[in-house]
């Protein structure tokens, strides 16, 4: 008899030991632990495998497992093993955070794209040297430093590369390096680059808007219910590009610090294009410039001169002074004004620049841009009429643009309307507004008098007319502006066939403690076509200089700088706005200005 | 010197040792559990099929021939099959001897690993033997089970070593070596299988409870001591909707596969899963062949485990009951952990699926485990020969 089998090693010798049989886990004769424990173990295995199978079925079965399924396990259906399908499989894991932004024709201006942070799990890397060498090539970093990080870092996971594109991720996946992963997230992408940079603004790392429309409309853009619906902006990519290129060239041509421009629908207030040069690429948003306290914040490329900057606009304002006077009913276009002798007020001497130096009609005063005539006109109608009219045009409040609160220019208007203030405001000094203010106010003035509120969101229908200006005055203002382009200071802006009206404005640049002797802001305001304006545009150049051509070294007036810049702009964008040049049927402003046009000695 | 008749007789006796005659082997093979053997063969076949899904992706990453890994999988299957058949017809004593030899060799290699091994990432797990990477921890597991099964069932008699303390010592040694790599997955697996054996010996509940306490202490120690391990556990415990990339891909693959799968070669998640060919092979199976194949795989492992446990429990030999049960649990636990990780019931832990996952060490070790298990779960020998322990020799002669 074999000793080994004659006793149970765990208990007393048991001559009756009988091997247990499966169907009888518990031996009949004498209870034993061994077999019953086998049965327990088997029971545990049965339970465990059933749990695993059940869980597997729950995950795989969409109907039963929907509630338990992970958010990652979405959808079912086919798709080849292509890179695209793979990218799609990954992308559907990333929740959309921000709605796209489009231009008025549905072209994408801002969208969200998946990017990947490449990281390495050190415990899973098989060969740090190979991994470092190959990854460094893809991530364009130093392989030695990367290898040191892979082998010596105290951390379990190491970030190798931030913001890799799906193609780069694929390239890294294709290397087949174990322990290297990509974590996806959505980032904001501006496919047009610098185009409309200030309007679009930008977002921070948490995908929240920090400037421009991205911040101003943040609540709508991030609204989970609307996030799949693109938001159409009022701007037109083509017009915006035309404006920006023309401004960029003007800035170079006149060696200006900066340039700004707005093109606005005269009826609806939709901004078709708005630009400020220098600008930036919102895909690589620069940090704000570290400016010294006495430096001009307008040097910062992030600064939007058109909407944020506030400047004395100069003679451009004369059109508002004239309109305010006409609106008051105290004068008409033939009212005679004194443009002869300088005005002395409060220790200041006010003169004209190449003025007519005679008695002029109101029409001539505007056409020749006479400070004296318009200053005296303002004095004539008084500050109640002036300030009331400016208030109606929106010069006393921020433009209600879809920008974040507080960054938009707040107009600086005279607190006390003394005699001097009244005169200076009459020719556009002592009041600081943004170019956007002027554009919106001009739109209100010339569209028949309906109050225009600037907007960056495309409107499906024009807003109801809230009339603030007499339509007669509106027509007169159109005529005055047309005459300026046709005969006087605005001639350099004339583009044949588009029947432009306009007004120049050269302002001494306000600097700390007064006015700069040399630096100017040159503005040109235009409407076209003048007989029934569809669009208003303004171009503003900061400290332009006439450095070429036969007028070289002459005073850089708006007529020599901003007007030709505006001509460039209109030549580029007018065809894009659907306006055909109409050379035959010129609308004669004289017909509007009519009999009151008499006394005009000036002829081109 | 001329050979005497006696010498010839001795030689003849040696040659015709009961364990090694062809007839003896055939007779043993007839008693092998053919059903479990077939189940293992099917699983190896499934491994082939899946290697055709996961292999080309891996091959493309490494810039080798698309069927390089498929071919390699087939080549690895040959020694694995040989190991199954060879071990399954060993006498119980030879099976035990082989198991102990494997154990000692694996322990030796594990001790030498820090000096001779290849460091990959944060862990030293591989040896390079004649150009082939060998992972000794894979071989340690069946060896540990057989050696401890033997020790746990040593009869207390003069000259015999102290059984249970030795088994505990071997466990601590093995787990210590595995944890020092660190390889927490293999540590947990070895510990689980050992505990199952301990449970099968019929040890008192108090001992089992204190053992469980010890395990808990070790686990808490590991949690506190290893940032990597802690991260995994934390990620598992606090993963409300926030899954690791691997888990996202794995669950998405299972979801995508549905009941019938997307079809062979149609899977896309395997492209993104870095370990699709080894630690997440079940995800590839789920995506391309659906619930049908994954449930079949689970069923096959359940079949092998339960049937082997049943047969081992039926044995009269305590060593067979304990070590056989241990090996069955080893296979069952490993499969369960692999699947459990994939369905996010367990923390992410790299664990191959026996027979199915790609990898030479895993395949050969699975073959050895299965072979030894088949040897232990053979039908009872009609003419049982005693297993002699080394310390018996002196007593018998």
**In chain B, what residues touch A91 (CB-CB under 8 Å)?**
none
Is B266 within 8 Å of A78 when comparing Cβ atoms? Answer: yes
In A432-466, which positions are buried (b, 16+ CB within 10 angstroms) versus exposed (e)? bbbbbbbbbbbbbbbbbbbbbebbbbbeeeeeeee
Is A124 within 8 Å of B350 when comparing Cβ atoms? Answer: yes
- pLDDT value for B13: 44
Average pLDDT over residues A581-601: 58
CA gap B317, B319 in Å, rounded: 5
- pLDDT value for A76: 32
CA gap A263, A570 in Å, rounded: 10
- 8 A C-beta contact, residue A305 and residue A298: yes
The CA-to-CA distance between both ends of chain B, in Å, stands at 28
Can you give the length of chain A in residues?
604
Angle value at C-alpha A462, between A534 and A457, nearest 5 degrees: 95
CA gap A501, A479 in Å, rounded: 8
User: How far B270 CA sits from the closest chain A CA (Å)?
Assistant: 9
* A-contacting residues in B 169-198 (Cβ below 8 Å): 196
CA gap B239, B233 in Å, rounded: 10
Of A55-59, A511-515, B87-91, the least confident: A511-515
- pLDDT value for A233: 95
pLDDT category, B119, cuts 50, 70, 90? low
In A114-135, which positions are buried (b, 16+ CB within 10 angstroms) versus exposed (e)? bbbbbbbbbbbbbbbeebbebb
pLDDT per residue over A460-490, tens digit each? 888 899 999 999 899 889 989 998 998 888 9
Q: Does B128 touch chain A (CB under 8 A)?
A: no
Of A248-262, A377-391, B126-140, B174-188, the least confident: B126-140
pLDDT category, A12, cuts 50, 70, 90? very low
Angle value at C-alpha B28, between B23 and B32, nearest 5 degrees: 145
- pLDDT value for B105: 92
- 8 A C-beta contact, residue B193 and residue B326: yes
* A-contacting residues in B 244-283 (Cβ below 8 Å): 245-249, 251-252, 254-259, 262, 265-269, 271-272, 274-275
- Say what percent of chain A tops pLDDT 70: 83
Residue of B nearest to A178 (CA): B274
- pLDDT value for A587: 66
Average pLDDT over residues B285-308: 92
Higher pLDDT, A110 or B92: A110
pLDDT category, A124, cuts 50, 70, 90? confident
Average pLDDT over residues A281-306: 78
User: How far B21 CA sits from the closest chain A CA (Å)?
Assistant: 23
Averaged pLDDT of chain A? 82
Q: Does A126 touch chain B (CB under 8 A)?
A: yes
- pLDDT value for A64: 39
**In chain B, what residues touch A19 (CB-CB under 8 Å)?**
314-316, 380
* B-contacting residues in A 202-261 (Cβ below 8 Å): none
- pLDDT value for B120: 62
* pLDDT at residue A176 tops 90: no
Q: Does A175 touch chain B (CB under 8 A)?
A: yes
- pLDDT value for B14: 41
Residue of B nearest to A184 (CA): B245
The H or E element that residue B127 is part of is strand B123-129
Closest to A207 in 3D by CA, of A115, A130, A103, A104: A115
CA gap B221, B226 in Å, rounded: 8
- Say what percent of chain B tops pLDDT 90: 28
Cβ-Cβ contacts under 8 Å for B328 (sequence gap 6 or more): B304, B305, B308, B309, B312, B373, B377
- 8 A C-beta contact, residue B376 and residue B312: yes
* pLDDT at residue A329 tops 60: yes
pLDDT per residue over B246-264, tens digit each? 777 788 788 878 888 877 8
Q: Left if phi > 0, otherwise alpha if psi is -120 to 50, otherwise beta: which for A79? A: left
Going by their DSSP bridges, the two strands A108-121 and A157-164 should be labelled as antiparallel
Of B22-26, B95-99, B132-136, the least confident: B132-136
Is A5 within 8 Å of B384 when comparing Cβ atoms? Answer: yes
- The residue whose two tokens read 């952990």 is B337
Residue of B nearest to A79 (CA): B266
Of A92-106, A539-553, B1-15, the least confident: B1-15
Nearest to A56 among B60, B325, B339 (CB): B339
- pLDDT value for A1: 43
Average pLDDT over residues A346-360: 84
CA gap B68, A396 in Å, rounded: 78
Is B196 within 8 Å of A41 when comparing Cβ atoms? Answer: yes
Average pLDDT over residues A6-25: 48
* pLDDT at residue A16 tops 60: no
Q: Does B315 touch chain A (CB under 8 A)?
A: yes
- The residue whose two tokens read 């185009």 is A195
- pLDDT value for B143: 94
pLDDT category, B385, cuts 50, 70, 90? low
Is B291 within 8 Å of A60 when comparing Cβ atoms? Answer: yes
Residue of A nearest to B257 (CA): A60
CA gap A92, B6 in Å, rounded: 82
Closest to A591 in 3D by CA, of A478, A498, A497, A491: A478
* pLDDT at residue A390 tops 90: yes
Q: How many CB atoms lie within 10 A of CB B176?
A: 11
- pLDDT value for A288: 75
Predicted ipTM of the assembly: 0.85
- pLDDT value for A538: 96
pLDDT category, B42, cuts 50, 70, 90? very high
**In chain A, what residues touch B336 (CB-CB under 8 Å)?**
45, 48-49, 52
* pLDDT at residue A362 tops 50: yes
- pLDDT value for B300: 95
In angstroms, what CA-CA distances link A64 with A72, A233, B285, B291?
A: 16, 44, 20, 13
In angstroms, what CA-CA distances link A290 with A202, A256, A456, B355?
A: 19, 21, 29, 65
User: How far B168 CA sits from the closest chain A CA (Å)?
Assistant: 17
- pLDDT value for B159: 72
CA gap A235, A311 in Å, rounded: 24
Nearest to A41 among B60, B255, B309 (CB): B309
Average pLDDT over residues A128-140: 84
Of A42-46, A104-108, A524-528, B230-234, the least confident: B230-234
Q: Does B395 touch chain A (CB under 8 A)?
A: no
User: How far B307 CA sits from the closest chain A CA (Å)?
Assistant: 9
Tokens representing A459 are: 């409107």
Q: Does B296 touch chain A (CB under 8 A)?
A: no
Size of interface A-B (CB pairs under 8 A): 220
Q: Does A84 touch chain B (CB under 8 A)?
A: no
Q: Of A37-41, B37-41, B217-221, B231-235, give the range with the top mean pLDDT.
A: B37-41
The H or E element that residue A365 is part of is helix A362-367
- pLDDT value for B53: 83
pLDDT category, A549, cuts 50, 70, 90? confident
Nearest to A34 among B155, B200, B249 (CB): B200
* A-contacting residues in B 334-353 (Cβ below 8 Å): 336, 339-340, 342-345, 350
**In chain B, what residues touch A23 (CB-CB under 8 Å)?**
none
* pLDDT at residue B197 tops 60: yes
């Amino acid at each position: 008899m074999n000793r080994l089998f004659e006793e149970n090693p765990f208990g007393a010798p048991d001559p009756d030991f009988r091997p247990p049989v499966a169907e009888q886990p518990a031996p009949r004769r004498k209870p034993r632990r061994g077999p019953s424990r086998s049965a327990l173990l088997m029971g545990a295995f049965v339970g465990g495998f059933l749990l695993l199978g059940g869980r597997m079925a729950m995950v795989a079965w969409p109907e039963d497992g929907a509630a338990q399924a992970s958010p990652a396990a979405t959808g079912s259906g086919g798709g080849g093993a292509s890179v695209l399908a793979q990218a799609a499989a990954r992308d559907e894991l990333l929740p959309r955070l921000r709605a796209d932004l489009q231009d008025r024709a549905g072209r994408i201006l801002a969208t969200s794209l998946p990017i990947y942070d490449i990281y390495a799990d050190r415990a899973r890397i098989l060969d740090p040297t190979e991994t470092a060498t190959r990854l460094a090539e893809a991530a364009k970093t130093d392989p030695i430093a990367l290898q040191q990080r892979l082998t010596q870092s105290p951390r379990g996971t190491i970030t190798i590369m931030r913001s890799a594109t799906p193609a780069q991720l694929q390239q890294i996946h294709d290397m087949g390096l174990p322990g290297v992963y990509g974590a996806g997230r959505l980032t904001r992408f501006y496919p047009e680059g610098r185009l409309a940079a200030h309007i679009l603004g930008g977002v921070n790392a948490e995908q929240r808007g920090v400037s421009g429309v991205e911040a101003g409309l943040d609540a709508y853009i991030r609204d989970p219910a609307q996030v799949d619906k693109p938001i159409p902006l009022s701007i037109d990519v083509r017009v915006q590009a035309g404006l920006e290129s023309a401004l960029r060239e003007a800035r170079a041509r006149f060696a200006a610090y900066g340039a700004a421009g707005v093109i606005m629908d005269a009826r609806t207030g939709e901004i078709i294009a708005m630009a400020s040069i220098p600008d930036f690429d919102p895909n690589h948003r620069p940090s704000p410039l570290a400016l010294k306290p006495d430096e001009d914040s307008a040097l910062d490329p992030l600064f939007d001169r058109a909407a944020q900057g506030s400047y004395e606009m100069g003679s451009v304002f004369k059109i508002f002074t004239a309109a305010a006077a006409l609106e008051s009913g105290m004068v008409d276009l033939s009212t005679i004004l004194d443009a002869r002798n300088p005005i002395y007020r409060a220790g200041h001497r006010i003169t004209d620049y190449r003025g007519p130096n005679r008695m002029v009609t109101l029409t001539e005063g505007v056409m020749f841009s006479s400070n004296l005539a318009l200053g005296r006109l303002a004095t004539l109608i008084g500050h109640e009429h002036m300030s009331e009219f400016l208030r109606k045009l929106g010069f006393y409040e921020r433009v209600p643009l879809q920008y974040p609160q507080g960054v938009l220019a707040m107009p600086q208007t005279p607190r006390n309307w003394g005699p001097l203030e009244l005169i200076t405001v009459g020719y556009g000094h002592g009041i600081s507004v943004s170019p956007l203010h002027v554009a919106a106010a001009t739109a209100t003035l010339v569209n028949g008098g309906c109050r225009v509120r600037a907007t960056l969101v495309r409107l499906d229908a024009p807003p109801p007319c809230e009339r603030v200006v007499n339509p007669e005055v509106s027509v007169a203002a159109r005529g005055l502006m047309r005459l300026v382009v046709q005969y006087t200071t605005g001639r350099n802006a004339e583009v044949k066939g588009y029947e432009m009206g306009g007004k120049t404005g050269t302002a001494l640049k306000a600097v700390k403690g007064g006015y700069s002797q040399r630096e100017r802001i040159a503005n040109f305001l235009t409407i076209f076509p003048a007989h029934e304006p569809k669009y208003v545009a303004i171009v503003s150049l900061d400290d332009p200089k006439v450095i070429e051509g036969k007028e070289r070294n002459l005073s850089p007036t708006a007529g020599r700088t901003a007007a030709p810049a505006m001509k460039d702009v209109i030549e580029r964008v007018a065809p894009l706005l659907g306006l055909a040049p109409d050379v035959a049927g010129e609308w004669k402003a004289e017909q509007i200005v009519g009999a009151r046009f008499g006394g005009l000695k000036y002829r081109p | 010197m001329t050979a005497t008749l006696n010498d010839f007789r001795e030689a003849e006796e040696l040659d015709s040792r009961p364990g090694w005659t062809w007839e003896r082997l055939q007779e043993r093979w007839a008693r092998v559990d053919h059903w479990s053997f077939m189940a293992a063969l099917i699983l190896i076949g499934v491994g082939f099929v899946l290697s055709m899904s996961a292999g080309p992706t891996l091959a493309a990453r490494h810039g080798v021939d698309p069927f390089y890994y498929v071919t390699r999988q087939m080549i690895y299957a040959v020694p694995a099959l040989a190991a199954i058949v060879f071990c399954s017809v060993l006498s119980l004593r030879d099976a035990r001897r082989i198991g102990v030899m494997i154990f000692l060799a694996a322990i030796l290699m594990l001790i030498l690993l820090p000096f001779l091994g290849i460091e990959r990432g944060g862990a030293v797990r591989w040896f390079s033997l004649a150009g082939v990477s060998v992972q000794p921890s894979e071989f340690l597991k069946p060896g540990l089970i057989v050696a401890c099964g033997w020790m746990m069932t040593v009869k207390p008699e003069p000259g015999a070593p102290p059984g249970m303390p030795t088994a505990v010592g071997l466990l601590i040694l093995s787990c210590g070596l595995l944890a020092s790599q660190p390889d927490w997955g293999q540590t947990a697996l070895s510990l689980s299988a050992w505990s199952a054996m301990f449970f099968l010996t019929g040890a008192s509940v108090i001992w089992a409870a204190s053992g469980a306490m010890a395990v808990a202490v070790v686990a808490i120690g590991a949690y506190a001591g290893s940032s990597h391990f802690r991260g995994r556990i934390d990620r598992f415990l606090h993963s409300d909707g926030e899954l690791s990339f691997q888990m996202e891909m794995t669950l998405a693959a299972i979801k995508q596969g549905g009941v019938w799968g997307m079809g062979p070669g149609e899977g896309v998640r395997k492209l993104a899963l870095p370990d699709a060919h080894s630690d997440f092979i079940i995800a590839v199976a789920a995506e391309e062949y659906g619930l049908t194949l994954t449930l079949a795989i689970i069923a096959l492992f359940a079949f092998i485990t339960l049937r082997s446990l049943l047969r081992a429990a039926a044995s009269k030999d305590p060593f067979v009951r304990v070590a056989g049960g241990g090996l069955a649990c080893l296979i069952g636990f490993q499969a369960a952990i692999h699947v459990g990780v994939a369905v996010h019931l367990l923390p992410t832990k790299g664990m191959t699926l026996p027979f199915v996952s790609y990898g030479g060490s895993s395949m050969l070790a699975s073959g050895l485990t299965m072979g030894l298990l088949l040897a232990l779960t053979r039908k009872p020998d009609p003419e049982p020969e005693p297993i002699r322990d080394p310390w018996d020799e002196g007593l018998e002669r």
